[in-house]
Structure 1
């Protein structure tokens, strides 16, 4: 499917705000066949990555959300995009804790604020440019399909100011990141917010190099090593050739 904001090998073209909402769908799970069920329960690391807790992953949800309360400071430079963090009712994810994670990710100096013109502020009421929603697979499928995107119970998507995070990915990550779920959550947010900002998919720049955040890493690392950040510690963009 087409996307705006094609990323080159060493530079990223900045797009104006009205070009930042191209529908995108990412992170398909490949390999073993998937049989949908009414619900499942899986073990996943807590945010510190050292303990486990049982978190139910229901297939279905009501399609309504709880918005994390409070506001954050502005991070980055330029006019801030206002965003909410929302969790579908009935799932075992704390909206407040999810909001804390998203805030940390977007405030990290290796994140999108390193581009010099992106800024973010979390809000809980009033108008918002971006809604980051953690939801059950069926709810993600329903919302994404409205934008012509088939998420198949496994994908995340970004379209028209909605970042739909599949609960399965938030809890279980992917095989590469299964032992470091918090890092994979950072990849989800950076990848999908990157689409919101107008960036398209790229591929691995070379064997042994860090995988770009805009690479569909779940489909194979292609010789790259895991990385979840758009920029490195020196402020250099981590990218690769535009994906076919």
Structure 2
């Protein structure tokens, strides 16, 4: 895990694996009102398909680190777009998306794009609904943009839509899937030893909002946590899981929550 530094930016440090809890931060993980094109893709949160995904099915190996990671508090608010693109994954008309990384960070836009591509192409992802499809592009028409940015920039963009991310969490605002650099690099205490798995949860949760999915709760003690559950608030008896669907193509969901 790289140490991020930006000259002239204020920064905070956090040691992966720390035990302090993030209180009520996920109250800010929310989407703006769904646009018409998002609403048409919205499934029922009360699906009767039985969730049975395994939390150990992440394609990425754990990446623990004992070194502190420095996160800039804010950045310039301008972005570098990952070049190139991907083939279509999933059925139906693909949603074209771009991957941007805020300028001044040591993150590689190409590396972030590769991870996002892999997450959205996973058979346990949103393409398992049989309707959603994705294709990464570097320009032209885009349906949504995944933006990895400093906490301050995320606050600015999410705050413009009335969402209070408090320098801590991610959001979906219109076409923008905003990824807080702090969460991308540090995850949360539950996922501190598998940060890459948590990145899958970030993308699946916020893209899920873009597709029209709302928040759901834990379906029962010992069961996999839905990707649309605000896991940063607490697991509530569920076990960690980052994928919307299980390996048998069943939606991992729970009771709808506000």
What TM-score, normalized to structure 1? 0.82
Whether 1:155 and 2:134 are equivalent positions in the alignment is: no
- CA deviations on 1:171-207 (whole Å, 9 max, x unpaired) are 0000000000000000000000000000000000000
Residue 192 (structure 2) aligns with: 178
Deviation, structure 1 residue 99: 0.4
Q: Secondary structure at the match of 2:247?
A: coil
Which residue of the other structure, out of 58, 62, 66, is the alignment partner of 1:49? 62
Whether 1:71 and 2:109 are equivalent positions in the alignment is: no
Q: Where does structure 2 lack aligned partners over 5 or more consecutive residues?
A: 1-29, 35-41, 50-59
Whether 1:7 and 2:7 are equivalent positions in the alignment is: no
Q: Where does structure 1 lack aligned partners over 5 or more consecutive residues?
A: 12-46
- CA deviations on 1:135-163 (whole Å, 9 max, x unpaired) are 00000000001111111101100011100
- CA deviations on 1:78-118 (whole Å, 9 max, x unpaired) are 00000011100011211000000000000000000000000
Residue 214 (structure 1) aligns with: 228
Q: Distance in 2 between matches of 1:48 and 1:205?
A: 27
- CA deviations on 1:42-93 (whole Å, 9 max, x unpaired) are xxxxx75346466431001000000001010100000000001110001121
Instruction: Report if the CA contact (8 A) 1:3-1:200 is conserved.
Output: no
Question: How many residues align structurally?
Answer: 209
Instruction: Report if the CA contact (8 A) 1:213-1:230 is conserved.
Output: yes
Q: Secondary structure at the match of 2:120?
A: helix
Q: Distance in 2 between matches of 1:70 and 1:51?
A: 30
Q: Distance in 1 between matches of 2:116 and 2:69?
A: 19
List structure 1 segments (4+ residues) > 2 angstroms apart after TM superposition.
1-6, 47-56
Q: Distance in 2 between matches of 1:220 and 1:3?
A: 25
CA RMSD in angstroms comes to 1.7
Alignment of 1:98-177 (within 5 A): 98-177=112-191
Instruction: Report if the CA contact (8 A) 1:66-1:89 is conserved.
Output: yes
Q: Secondary structure at the match of 1:87?
A: strand
Q: Distance in 1 between matches of 2:244 and 2:33?
A: 18
Residue 191 (structure 1) aligns with: 205
Instruction: Report if the CA contact (8 A) 2:63-2:195 is conserved.
Output: no
- CA deviations on 1:199-222 (whole Å, 9 max, x unpaired) are 000000000000000000010101
Instruction: Report if the CA contact (8 A) 1:56-1:92 is conserved.
Output: no
Q: Distance in 2 between matches of 1:208 and 1:173?
A: 22
Higher fraction of strand: 1
What TM-score, normalized to structure 2? 0.77
